[in-house]
Structure 1
Amino acid sequence: MNQAQTTAALLAAATAAAGTITYAALSAQSQLFGKLLIAGSNPDEIALTYDDGPNDLATERLLDVLAQHNVHATFFLIGNYVRQRPHIARAIASAGHLIGNHTMTHPWLAWQSASRIREELQSCNAAIEDTLGTPVRYLRPPHGARRPVVFRIARELGLTTVHWNILPGDWKPIGAGEIAARTIRGIEQAQRHHRASNIVLHDGGQAGLGQPRLPTIEATGLLLRHYQTQPQKKFVTVDHWNISSK
Structure 2
Amino acid sequence: MTSIQLAAAAAFTTAAVAGAAAYAALWPQSQLFGRVLVAGSNPDEIALTYDDGPNDAATERLLEVLARHEVHATFFLIGGFVRQRPALVRSIAAAGHVIGNHTMTHPWLSWQSAARIREELAGCNAVLEDALGAPVHFFRAPHGARRPVVLQTARELGLTAVQWNITAFDWNPIPADEILGNITRGIERNRSRKRASNVLLHDGGHLGIGQPRMPSVEATDRLLQQYKSTGMRFVTVADWI
**TM-score between both structures, scaled by the size of structure 2:** 0.98
2:196 is the alignment partner of 1:196 = yes
Displacement of 1:125 in angstroms is 0.2
Displacement of 1:57 in angstroms is 2.5
> Residue 139 of structure 2 aligns with which residue?
139
In the alignment, the residues of structure 1 paired with residue 209 and residue 57 of structure 2 have an alpha-carbon distance, to the nearest angstrom, of 8
> Residue 130 of structure 1 aligns with which residue?
130
In the alignment, the residues of structure 1 paired with residue 33 and residue 219 of structure 2 have an alpha-carbon distance, to the nearest angstrom, of 33
8 Å Cα contact 1:57/1:211 also seen in 2: no
In the alignment, the residues of structure 1 paired with residue 5 and residue 192 of structure 2 have an alpha-carbon distance, to the nearest angstrom, of 45
In the alignment, the residues of structure 2 paired with residue 5 and residue 62 of structure 1 have an alpha-carbon distance, to the nearest angstrom, of 58
Displacement of 1:8 in angstroms is 1.6
> Residue 173 of structure 2 aligns with which residue?
173
> Residue 148 of structure 1 aligns with which residue?
148
RMSD, matched Cα: 0.8
In the alignment, the residues of structure 1 paired with residue 203 and residue 131 of structure 2 have an alpha-carbon distance, to the nearest angstrom, of 19
Letter in structure 1 aligned against 2:159: L
2:202 is the alignment partner of 1:236 = no
In the alignment, the residues of structure 2 paired with residue 155 and residue 178 of structure 1 have an alpha-carbon distance, to the nearest angstrom, of 36
**TM-score between both structures, scaled by the size of structure 1:** 0.96
> Residue 93 of structure 1 aligns with which residue?
93
Q: Secondary structure, in 3 states, of the residue corresponding to 1:58?
A: helix
8 Å Cα contact 2:49/2:75 also seen in 1: yes
Show CA shifts across 1:100-148 (max 9, x none).
0000000011110000000000000001000001101000000000000
In the alignment, the residues of structure 1 paired with residue 105 and residue 66 of structure 2 have an alpha-carbon distance, to the nearest angstrom, of 27
1:18-29 to 2 correspondences below 5 Å: 18-29=18-29
8 Å Cα contact 1:46/1:233 also seen in 2: yes
Displacement of 1:173 in angstroms is 3.0
In the alignment, the residues of structure 2 paired with residue 7 and residue 196 of structure 1 have an alpha-carbon distance, to the nearest angstrom, of 45
Show CA shifts across 1:149-177 (max 9, x none).
01111110010000000001012332111
In the alignment, the residues of structure 2 paired with residue 71 and residue 156 of structure 1 have an alpha-carbon distance, to the nearest angstrom, of 31
Q: Secondary structure, in 3 states, of the residue corresponding to 1:57?
A: helix
1:41-120 to 2 correspondences below 5 Å: 41-120=41-120
8 Å Cα contact 1:170/1:179 also seen in 2: yes
Q: Secondary structure, in 3 states, of the residue corresponding to 1:91?
A: helix
8 Å Cα contact 1:82/1:128 also seen in 2: yes
Number of aligned residue pairs: 241
